[in-house]
A and B are shown apart, each in its own frame.
Chain A
Amino acid sequence: MRIEPIRAAGGRPAHIRHDDDLISAKGVSVVMARQLILQNIDLAIPKGSFVSLIGPSGCGKSTLLKVLAGLVDPTSGSVAIAGLSPVEAARKRMIGLVFQDANLLPWKNAVDNASMLLSIADKSLSRAKLKARGQEMLELVGLGDSAHKRPHELSGGMRQRVAIARALALEPAVLLMDEPFGALDAITRDQMGQSLLEIWQRTGKTIVLVTHSIDEAIHLSRHVHVLGIKPGRITESLDVDLPYPRDLSVTEDPAFVRLTVQLRTMLRAGHQPGAAS
């Protein structure tokens, strides 16, 4: 097995060609309440790739995801998603969002929750079409037979699947996920990760995952960007050269173990405030 993690000083693996990048951030800095949250982030995310952003609490990885989603404006620098600003891209339904809390509407059943955002994004769709799309997405996430259950009848993992279905119903080009499995138990978390990989391979979406789990980052993603704290910045990047399709047995692969050690070392280095990358 060849493992050749490529690190570049600018935070971007040198081999990525810019033309293929669906998302590119250039010199993004964010200042909030007179604090430098993110400093000079350069990021290039190729179309169809699975990228993880990993870092300690307070490194600004969630803020970075919000910048990519157009929910936070960068103080300086710019972000382009397929040549559009994040807000324009979101309006064109190119961005699907999943947060740690599924945030389902308790008064709607699973299928109506799955089509809820779509119904706002595209007012021309009939109720029947919305239901059909919701059902289709629930089937994609493995909840086809739970369409009429309300959120309180679903487990935490199932609720998060509905949240993923709701994001996918928009037919976005990119899924931005902020610690989507952070509140789940270890076993459910592994299953959800595996399901996400399968959905990724079936749909060809570009996925950006914010996580603080080293195993999750390596199990799922093709590229991992490590963020350091104070200020939040990309300190290192790691390419995960494990072949897809991957399943949970990949975690026993010696290459996997070596990558986790490598990533842990990188994280530790980024944990020093203001440390040079």
Chain B
Amino acid sequence: MSDQPVTSLSEPRLASGWGAATGSWLPAVILLLATVMVWEAVVRIFAISAFIIPAPSEIAQSLVAQWPTLLQATLVTAGEILFGFVVSVLVGIAIALVIVRFDWLGRALYPLVVLFQNVPKVALAPIFILWFGYGLAPKIGLILVIAFFPVTLSMLAGMQSVDRSLLSLMNSVGASRTQILFRIRVPHSLPNLMAGTKIAATLSVIGAIVGEFAGASDGLGYVIQFASTQLDTALVFAALLLVSVLGIAFYYAAEVLERIMVPWAPKFSGA
């Protein structure tokens, strides 16, 4: 389905199209530029040392000077995030499906999943390094434990919010639980699932950086740690900037995915 409203009956879309976006972004861009300029001015006027707060120009210089290293680290971290995100979403969906499809297993699993949510995941990082070494595996593991939960929870909420009378209709023609699950509950849950997926995308970035902090020889998290031990604060900020860019990129990738997966979304804006 196209992005254009098909008829006048379509609900007005949220201001999320590119056309609306440029207009609504303008104030934010102006504020950002102003902040950068004030930052630069304050650092220069008060002669603040570069290893406390580097000026934006110094960060930019560092970004250019260290570009090959930073690019390589960015690609490593991006790979971890992508891999970890995909695994988190798949595991999150699988857990939600099992909980809804199998009553007894769901009753056993759901409280444990919620309980596990209270474990501070960051504290698991050293254990994962101990178990899985310094490679990709501990980062994926960490992203998984951090990011699967919003996926599971949002999909569960979507699957369980199916109208009772729709279920009555299905039951009256003898639909099986599996049919109700895959023909009604799963597609019905997609808008919720996509909201959870967007949260998971953001959490995946955090998971990857925490994983790299705990033990890595590559990636933006490693660059941040290494640079801070060298008091190269400009490089820390340059790496931070790239982490943010990654975060934004993954968030918008998830949003594009949402638009592909839930083309009937107008229904949920108030119909």
Contacts and interface: CB of A to CB of B under 8 A. Distances in A.
B163 A120 contact: no
Contacts of A155: 9
Interface stretch (B34-42, B67-75, B133-141, B173-181): B173-181
A101 interface: yes
B173 A117 contact: yes
Interface stretch (B55-63, B164-172, B223-231): B164-172
A97 B172 contact: yes
A99 B264 contact: no
Contact of B165 (A93, A103, A151, A170): A103
A170 to B, nearest CB: 7
Contact of B264 (A100, A103, A107, A178): A107
Contact of B10 (A69, A95, A153): A153
Given A71-B168, A101-B163, A103-B163, A93 B173 contact: yes
Nearest to B175: A120
Nearest to A117: B173
A141 B223 CA distance: 67
Interface string B173-217: 111000100011001101000000000000000000000000000
Contacts of B168: 66, 69, 71, 97, 99
Interface residues on A, range: 20 to 34
Contact of A152 (B165, B187, B264): B264
A8 interface: no
A101 B165 contact: yes
Interface string B255-271: 00000000110111001
Given A95-B172, A152-B271, A107 B187 contact: yes
A68 B271 CA distance: 31
B166 A103 contact: yes
A154 interface: yes
Nearest to A178: B165
Contact of B271 (A95, A97, A117, A151): A151
Contacts of A100: 165
B6 interface: yes
Given A101-B165, A103-B163, A152 B172 contact: no
Interface of B: 6-7, 9-11, 163, 165-166, 168-175, 179, 183-184, 187-188, 190, 263-264, 266-268, 271
